[in-house]
């Protein structure tokens, strides 16, 4: 990260492993990893900012470069599903977070790291520190593969502060444990 244009208050990692589902072992273990960063909202205290693009362009790539390789490293297995999130503190606008995560400067870091081809599903919302949020995950090359439609719930006790943004990436090594749905179109 370029410290002259971007600094963060907190970097966090959440790992969820399911080893038993429905009374049956999960093989391979289902692992979902979330890596996120909390930083000052660059538009906080400025009132309505009509043109967000200069700020987005100065931060989005750094965010993707920081988070994407960490998800892959912590996952420790080939990634099969992914998603993203932006949670804006109460003094910001949802558009501040959306602008950062809904662009190629951010998302292409994760797609390249995961060899993914689909768009990353996302959640974006505004809320107080400690708000829970569900990151949707979809298959990384085919969003119609229903076995990989899942979510992971995340909560960071002290983030985001009112003038902060929390951005996160999530990755899974497989679809839902014990999934039994027919392929899309197969009922």
Task: Report pLDDT for 186.
Answer: 63
What token pair was written down for 101? 């995560």
Return the bridge partners of 172, or none. Answer: 32, 81
Tell me if 118 sits within 8 A of 139, measured CB to CB. yes
Block residue for tokens 């967000």: 52
Give the start-to-end residue ranges of the domains of the chain.
10-172
What CATH number matches the domain at 10-172, 3.30.530.20, 3.40.718.10, 3.30.1330.110, 3.40.50.970?
3.30.1330.110
Task: Report pLDDT for 3.
Answer: 38
Which residues neighbour 47 within 8 Å (Cβ) at sequence distance 6 or greater?
Answer: none
Closest CA to 39 of 129, 164, 155, 162: 164
Kindly give the confidence (pLDDT) of every residue in the chain, 187 residues in length, as a single tens digit, with 9 standing for 90 and above. 333 367 999 999 999 999 999 999 999 999 999 999 999 999 998 999 999 999 999 999 999 999 999 999 999 999 999 999 999 999 999 999 999 999 999 999 999 999 999 999 999 999 999 999 999 999 999 988 999 999 999 999 999 999 999 999 999 999 999 988 766 666 6
Which residues neighbour 166 within 8 Å (Cβ) at sequence distance 6 or greater?
Answer: 36, 37, 38, 85, 86, 87, 88, 156, 159, 160
3-state secondary structure 126-149: ECCCCCCEEEEEEECCCCCCHHHC
Q: At what angle do helices 53-75 and 104-114 cross, to 10 degrees?
A: 20
What token pair was written down for 54? 């200069």
* CA atoms of 170 and 102, how far apart (whole Å): 15
Q: Quick one: which H or E segment has residue 169?
A: strand 164-172
- The sign of the dihedral angle between the CA atoms of 55, 60, 65, 66 is positive
Task: Report pLDDT for 4.
Answer: 39
């Amino acid at each position: 990260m370029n410290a002259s244009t971007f600094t963060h208050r907190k970097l966090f990692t959440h790992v969820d492993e399911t080893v038993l589902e429905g009374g049956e072992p999960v093989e391979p273990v289902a692992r979902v990893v979330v890596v996120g960063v909390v930083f000052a909202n660059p538009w906080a205290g400025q009132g309505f900012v009509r043109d967000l693009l200069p700020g987005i362009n100065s931060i989005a790539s750094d965010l993707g470069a920081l988070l994407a390789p960490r998800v892959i490293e912590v996952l420790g297995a080939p990634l099969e599903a992914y998603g993203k999130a932006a949670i804006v503190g109460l003094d910001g606008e949802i558009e501040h977070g959306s602008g950062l995560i809904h662009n190629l400067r951010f998302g292409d870091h994760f797609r390249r790291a995961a060899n993914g081809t689909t768009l990353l599903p996302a959640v974006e919302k505004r809320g107080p520190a400690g708000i829970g949020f569900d990151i949707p995950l979809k298959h990384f090359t085919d969003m119609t593969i229903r076995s990989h439609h899942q979510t992971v719930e995340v909560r960071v006790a002290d983030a985001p502060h009112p003038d902060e943004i929390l951005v996160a990436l999530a990755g899974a090594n497989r679809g839902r444990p014990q999934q039994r749905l027919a392929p899309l179109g197969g009922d």
